[in-house]
Amino acid sequence: MSGKEMDELLFKSIEEIGQLYRKKEVSPYEITKATIERLNTLEPKLNAFITVLSEEALIQAKKAEDTFVKGVEVGKLYGIPVSLKDIFDTKGIRTSLGSKIMKDYVPTENSHVYDAFSKAGAIIVGKNNMLEFAYGSVHPEYGQCNNPWDINRTAGGSSSGSASSIAAGIGFASIGTDTGGSIRLPSSFCGVVGLKPTYETVSRRGLFNLSHSLDHIGPITRTVRDNAIVLEGISTNQINYDSVFTESIKGMKIGVIRSFIDSNTHSEVEELVASAVEKLTELGGNVVDVKIPGIETFNDIGFPILMSEGSYHHRDWYPKWAEDYAEGTQIVLKEGFSVSAVTYLEAVEKKKEFREKLVDLFENFDVLVSPTSPSPATKNDPSFEDTTYDYLQRTMPFNISGNPAITVPAGLTPSENLPVGLQFIGRHYDESTLYRVADAFQLNSGGYRHPLIY
């Protein structure tokens, strides 16, 4: 098999690779070796990894190969190369959190997601680059993670390396975290599928908290169906989505969050989203505009919680080691310590009220839909100081409410060939409906398209 043919295999779905394993047409060792070779080739361009686990991955891949040769029945993720954002504890493997302060930290326990991947037989090839502590900005010692669609642009944040590597064909899934959009925004920038599941669907054990009230853990993949396979493997509860994918959304009630479209200032994003909404109608969805009362005040709820809880989790290090933080992280940590208890508790009460508004709204809708991001990938990482666009406006409200939300590629901008994401939001604990609608949309929009990066 030629190198190019093997590279194309690296963009197959998890299910397709599993079938090839079972037919013994390709082995986990071959796929893992090719994944690591592609990582080594592209990493100088992407900067998507902090730690690469080549030797460990190949040892696990050889064991997986032997298992398939023996014909042992195994699960969907067995022998599949994957990665993790470098914010999850991995016993005996450093967990840097993209920071100078923790650059040599080696945990003595595993996180839930690492244990879940290990139990499923997935092969972890590395730990991904990220914004420092998943917060203010990338630390200069690690550097910006680049976008495989245009390496002169950012992959987004904070789960930057996770989205970039999966879009580039380095592994079949990665696990990120999302506190205000940190799975969905880089997934939108990189043209992949990113899910923020219902709050606490995936255990946060072994995750370094940014904001424990808003942090969500979820998978980044190239297809909706791959995403469901990974969520099955890492969810705290036992779930199975095999019966979800009917490819039909006929009669489903879909609410378009009109304010999220009308506030958009990027014409090509607006056009692609409008076309996507038309597609949902063509597929039989009952599509109507919807207004969410109070959604424009998300700043008054989300930021006091995020910033105060963020600073709380850094209280032993800041301001003692202030100079070791990236400048953007220093700024938000300092501001977080100035949030009063009254302001924080008011935000917590408003958070509960907003959650109930969404519960009431979903009595009339199966899913909601909106743009994921107001623009395609930018040159540099969006930051709290960048007021050109409000990148959290369309994502953070659903961290506040805890609803599941998924971004799916909606197409490429005509002028610069950059991905644009479409976001679907679902009822609490109803990832099934979310997956059903997102999958039907993806399949009827041409499926996954990958960047031509070699």
Among 27, 158, 159, 401, the active-site one is 158
Q: Is 445 a catalytic residue?
A: no
Taking alpha carbons only, the member of 310, 358, 372 closest to residue 336 is 310
For 248, 364, 410, 436, 447, the CA distances from 252, given in Å and listed in that order, are: 9, 10, 19, 10, 21
For 311, 335, 384, 388, the CA distances from 331, given in Å and listed in that order, are: 11, 6, 9, 18
Which residues in 306-332 are b (16+ Cβ under 10 Å) and which e?
bbbbbbebbeebbeeeeebbbebbbbb
d(C-alpha 326, C-alpha 414), whole Å: 35
Helices 54-69 and 28-46 cross at an angle (nearest 10°) of 160
Q: Is 85 a catalytic residue?
A: yes
What tokens does 71 get?
Answer: 């014909």
What tokens does 111 get?
Answer: 């996180």
Among 12, 33, 76, 85, the active-site one is 85
Catalytic residue ranges: 85, 158, 182
